């Protein structure tokens, strides 16, 4: 094993890891056979097949929900959820400032106004008090994002939404397999929205599933996703406005196979994440997010930890990440604060909200905890968590090595 005391890889030493972590996506004969079956059956779209719909139903049950809709992606699932909740012109939707842009643009897609709020500094999920403080007479919904698979405080959120008459849409794009008090995420709010894009915890390259428990909401979301059709009516009977957001049968076939191996993968990722949390927490300047005891399983889309550069001889985050990458650790990056994106800073919302100027000055929105987290968290790729335990603990060894040599690295790279 490479010595922690040896020269860090970024300064020319041998890396802690010379072998890469497991690759992603994972697939085998199950995906191949599923695709062939769809090919030969000739259905190919949901109008002539049940593969995608069956997958969405199984996925919904896995997350404790009654209904699942197989849709194109995790952007459209959010949009369909808001449309089904009858959210539109002049309504406000509260969204956390640390997330992928789609969580907020979903509101714009239905001509509603996203209101950006701060996050919990520890879990990076929406701060429920900040969400409550942002409620106005126009607020219709909260979109809560389970960031990196860590469940938001669903007890507090459901209580708040019930008390204030708001819809709750859970954005579970990072949280396949996250369980809150014995029930899957996505089943707590009016809707749970999942993405199956390539980087996600199960994938068909693209794809999305919308889950819910209410039949009328299910019907409304499906009508929106299926060109305004009403189930059981004539094919060219279009009752309401809708678009085409249907998943293909190909995606359904791949995702059925992915769902089959998901529970075992989820268990491995959970066990490894818990072990890595403990190892990293022992290193000065590193803090892993507190795992809420109400969350019995976390779908780790990413493994996130907080980095305090003052304990690493002032080594800036970017240089720390470069040193970690040189040791063979695969990383993503933190989201920037949504309020810093050009779309919001400059209110570039066309073709949405054309009928009136937005009444929020996003350029002046300050989200201090989002900004701090964006500048001080490290996001590791989930494929690392599928490795054997010693390989996973190499992450902590690499961080420890950088900690030991932080002054030298800072000196050399400055
Ligand atoms: C939190 C979050 N919401 C929504 C989405 C959108 O999903 P998709 O890429 O499938 O449209 C993503 C995808 O990255 C995401 O991370």
Indicate whether 101 pLDDT > 70.
yes
Q: Is the C-beta atom of 174 inside 6 A of ligand 1?
A: yes
Q: Is the C-beta atom of 149 inside 6 A of ligand 1?
A: no
Indicate whether 2 pLDDT > 70.
no
Q: Is the C-beta atom of 195 inside 6 A of ligand 1?
A: yes
Write the residue with the smallest CA distance to atom 14 of ligand 1: 100
Q: Which residues are catalytic?
A: 100, 171, 174, 197, 200, 229, 236, 246
How far away, in angstroms, is 14 Cα from ligand 1 center? Answer: 37
pLDDT digits (tens, 9 = 90+) for 253-290: 999 999 999 999 999 999 999 999 999 999 999 999 99
For the residues 101-115, what does the mean pLDDT come to? 97
pLDDT digits (tens, 9 = 90+) for 67-92: 999 999 999 999 999 999 999 998 99
What pLDDT was estimated at residue 354? 84
pLDDT digits (tens, 9 = 90+) for 201-259: 999 999 999 999 999 999 999 999 999 999 889 999 999 999 999 999 999 999 999 99
Indicate whether 363 pLDDT > 80.
yes
The full 3-state SS of 66-111, as one line of letters, equals CEEEEECCHHHHHHHHHHHCCCCCCCEEEEECCCCCHHHHHHHHCC
The percent of residues above 70 in pLDDT, for the chain, comes to 99
Task: Write down all domains in the chain, each with its CATH number in brackets.
Answer: 29-258 (3.40.640.10)
Q: Is the C-beta atom of 403 inside 6 A of ligand 1?
A: no
How far away, in angstroms, is 284 Cα from ligand 1 center? Answer: 33
396-409 per-residue burial string, b: 16 or more CB within 10 A, e: under 16: bbbbbbbbebbebb
47-65 per-residue burial string, b: 16 or more CB within 10 A, e: under 16: eebebbbebbbebbebbbb
Ligand 1 atom at minimal distance to the Cα of residue 106: 4
């Amino acid at each position: 094993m490479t010595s922690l005391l040896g020269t860090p890889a970024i300064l020319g030493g041998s890396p802690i890891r010379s072998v890469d972590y497991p690759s992603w996506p994972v697939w085998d004969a199950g995906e191949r056979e599923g695709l062939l079956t769809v090919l030969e059956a000739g259905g190919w779209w949901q109008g002539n097949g049940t593969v995608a719909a069956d997958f969405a139903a199984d996925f919904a049950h896995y997350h404790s929900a009654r209904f699942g809709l197989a849709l194109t992606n995790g952007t459209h699932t959010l949009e369909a959820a808001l449309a089904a909740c009858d959210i539109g012109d002049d309504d406000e939707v509260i969204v956390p400032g640390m997330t992928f842009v789609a969580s907020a643009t979903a509101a714009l897609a239905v001509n509603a106004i996203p209101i950006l709020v701060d996050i919990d500094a520890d879990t990076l999920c929406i701060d429920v008090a900040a969400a409550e403080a942002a409620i106005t007479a126009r607020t219709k919904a909260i979109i809560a994002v389970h960031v990196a698979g860590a469940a938001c405080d669903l007890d507090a959120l459901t209580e708040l939404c019930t008390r204030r008459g708001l819809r709750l849409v859970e954005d579970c794009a990072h949280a396949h397999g996250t369980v809150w008090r014995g029930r899957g995420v996505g089943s707590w709010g009016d809707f749970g929205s999942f993405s199956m894009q390539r980087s996600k915890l199960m994938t068909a390259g693209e794809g999305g599933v919308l889950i819910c428990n209410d039949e009328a909401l299910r019907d409304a979301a499906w009508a929106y996703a299926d060109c305004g059709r009403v189930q059981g009516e004539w094919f060219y009977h279009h009752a309401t406005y809708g678009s085409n957001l249907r998943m293909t049968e190909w995606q359904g076939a791949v995702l059925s196979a992915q769902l089959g191996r998901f529970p075992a993968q989820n268990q491995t990722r959970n066990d490894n994440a818990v072990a890595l949390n403990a190892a990293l927490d022992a290193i000065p300047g590193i803090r892993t997010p507190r795992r809420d005891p109400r969350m019995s399983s976390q779908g780790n889309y990413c493994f996130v930890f907080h980095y305090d550069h003052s304990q690493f001889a002032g080594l800036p985050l970017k240089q720390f990440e470069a040193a970690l990458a040189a040791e063979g650790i695969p990383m993503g990056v933190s989201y920037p604060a949504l309020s810093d994106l050009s779309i919001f800073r400059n209110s570039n919302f066309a073709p949405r909200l054309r009928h009136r100027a937005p009444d929020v000055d996003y350029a002046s929105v300050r989200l201090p905890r989002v900004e701090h987290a964006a500048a001080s968290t490290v996001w590791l790729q989930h494929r690392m968590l599928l490795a054997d335990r010693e390989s996973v603990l190499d992450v902590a060894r690499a961080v420890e090595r950088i900690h030991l040599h932080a002054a030298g690295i800072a000196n050399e790279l400055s």
